[in-house]
Structure 1
Amino acid sequence: MEPSDAGGLSADAALELLRTGEIAVEGRLVEASNATLFCAVSGGDARAHCVYKPVRGERPLWDFPDGTLAAREYAAYELSEQLGDGLVPPTVLRDGPFGVGMAQLWIDVDETVDMVGLVRAGDWRLRRVALFDAVINNADRKGGHLLPAPSGRVYAIDHGVTFHGDDKLRTVLWNWRGKRFDAAERALLDGLGAALDGPLGEKLDDLLTQSEIAALAARVDRLRDQGRFPQPSDDWPAIPWPPF
């Protein structure tokens, strides 16, 4: 994470603030389907903004267990950290004004960036997001869930409907469908497979079910064996609605 994207905080400082700071609700993001609160978080001399999604504000879904979306958001952050790209802003699970929920650092966005053009052009910065989504089985990668920051980085947010045991990939990032992984991507998948048998697997034990973790490991193995980005499925809509 670039400090310029989040009020001058480094990733480590942001995580410490998110874990231990006092959260004060300042507003609500009304376009979100679940309760998504815009908050200030402060501790000592540090202050930043964050998004806080309490578990009690999650709407029931027919295909995901109730009360699990915040844990899936945190699991996506932990997996992103294992990949080492910092795609997902610093994220924690913690108690807050409305109970336990996900708290994620607010990222300042470069409003001059045309996200529709960025997605349609297959910008190279989004290729790693496409790989990440294939791994976590993201069922809802909208263009609005990509944040172009002033530093030039693009962050990925909103990972509540991920890690399902059934294949549910729906995304606007099909630009690389069927293309072979490069050497760096193959190395990332190899490292991820090993990490799931070690520290990362232990972290996910408290966040996902054993069947979901097994499905994750199987997806990583399948991607490694195929050596290519996945193709859209004929069994469900390939692009979420609305796409942005």
Structure 2
Amino acid sequence: MFPSDPAVAELLTRGRIEVEGRLVDASNATLFCAISGAGEVAHCVYKPVSGERALWDFPDGTLAGREVGAYLVSEATGLHLVPPTVLRAGPFGPGMVQLWVDTKEGDDLVDVIGPDDVPKGWRRVLRAHDRFGEPAVLAHSDHPSIRLMAALDVVINNADRKGGHVLHGTDGNVYGVDHGICLHTEHKLRTVLWGWVGEPLPEDVLEMLGTLRAAMPALAESLAEHLTRAEIRALGARLDELERTAEFPTPGADYRAIPWPAF
């Protein structure tokens, strides 16, 4: 089942969830599940609120709602950059349920590679050395959907855009996942997608922001279930600022701008 399938929303909301395994690299409880109902079967990710790790800067029990909030913002742009995501009851209590995205094997969109191995057209983000002391480069694809995702991350204030959170689906579309620490009132943008620093926003990004602007009144009502009024106002303020500057922001020197680990 692809994210664009019209039956996805109903399946995620009402389907029967059966836990099949756990994604052990995740910092919070992240369960790989089968979900079925009304003759449909798919896989999903289920993150119960009870399995969230307490953070000093994000209120306890809010990460699942922020995942849904990021999905709602993405949907308001009309670009579907986040897989269908709902907040519902599950085997271990309420939590975030998101459609699993099958990816193209060997078709990474973000990578750490040798300086001479960076694919043509890719954007270089950071020069470093690997664990053997050899030169390495953090780089990402120049895919238009990644550029849109980078702008969306600015608006939702994504504090954890790792390379492994950018997926190239088997349906050909690009998706961002793992948005539990976003939509904070304070500036917290940490991302591997810094490849367009200081460049003017292209027409497709400006169009995305305009669509989001028009959707803000209705979106604010939908977000009220998951965010505080201050967080919704901050979302609008970031949208205002990005439209005003009309360029990709530059990371500040007073904070860590790339998540660790980067994948």
- The TM-score, its normalising length taken from structure 2, stands at 0.86
In terms of fraction of residues, the more helix-rich structure is 1
| Distance change (3 Å), C-alpha of 1:9 and 1:172 | closer
The superposition leaves residues 113-167 of structure 1 with CA deviations (integer Å, 9 ceiling, x where unpaired) of 1341667144223101101101100000000001112233221000000001011
Is 1:209 matched up with 2:228? yes
Is 1:31 matched up with 2:25? yes
2:192/2:259 contact within 8 Å kept? yes
In 1, the alpha carbon distance for the partners of 2:21 and 2:69 equals 26
Is 1:226 matched up with 2:226? no
1:122/1:173 contact within 8 Å kept? no
| Aligned positions of 1:7-26 closer than 5 A | 7=1, 10-26=4-20
In 2, the alpha carbon distance for the partners of 1:91 and 1:70 equals 10
What does residue 193 of structure 1 align with?
213
Instruction: Choose 1 or 2 for highest CA Rg.
Output: 2
One-letter code aligned to 2:258: I
In terms of fraction of residues, the more strand-rich structure is 2
In 2, the alpha carbon distance for the partners of 1:49 and 1:212 equals 31
What does residue 4 of structure 1 align with?
none
Find the partner of 1:150 among 165, 170, 173. Answer: 170
2:69/2:226 contact within 8 Å kept? yes
Find the partner of 1:72 among 66, 74, 98. Answer: 66
Secondary structure in 2 matching 1:12? coil
Is 1:171 matched up with 2:198? no
**Displacement after TM superposition at 1:193 (Å):** 2.3
Is 1:50 matched up with 2:44? yes
The superposition leaves residues 50-99 of structure 1 with CA deviations (integer Å, 9 ceiling, x where unpaired) of 00000010000000000000000000001100111111111111001011
Q: Structure 2: where are the runs of 5+ without partners? A: 112-117, 124-138
One-letter code aligned to 1:81: E
| Distance change (3 Å), C-alpha of 1:156 and 1:62 | same
Is 1:96 matched up with 2:116? no
1:11/1:90 contact within 8 Å kept? no
| Distance change (3 Å), C-alpha of 1:9 and 1:224 | closer
| Distance change (3 Å), C-alpha of 1:215 and 1:45 | same
What does residue 254 of structure 2 align with?
235
The superposition leaves residues 171-215 of structure 1 with CA deviations (integer Å, 9 ceiling, x where unpaired) of 00000111111223223212322322x210100111101111111
| Distance change (3 Å), C-alpha of 1:225 and 1:8 | closer
Residue correspondences, number: 237
In 2, the alpha carbon distance for the partners of 1:95 and 1:11 equals 22
In 2, the alpha carbon distance for the partners of 1:37 and 1:129 equals 25
In 1, the alpha carbon distance for the partners of 2:71 and 2:178 equals 10
One-letter code aligned to 1:242: P
Structure 1 vs Structure 2 CA RMSD: 1.4
- The TM-score, its normalising length taken from structure 1, stands at 0.93
What does residue 138 of structure 1 align with?
158
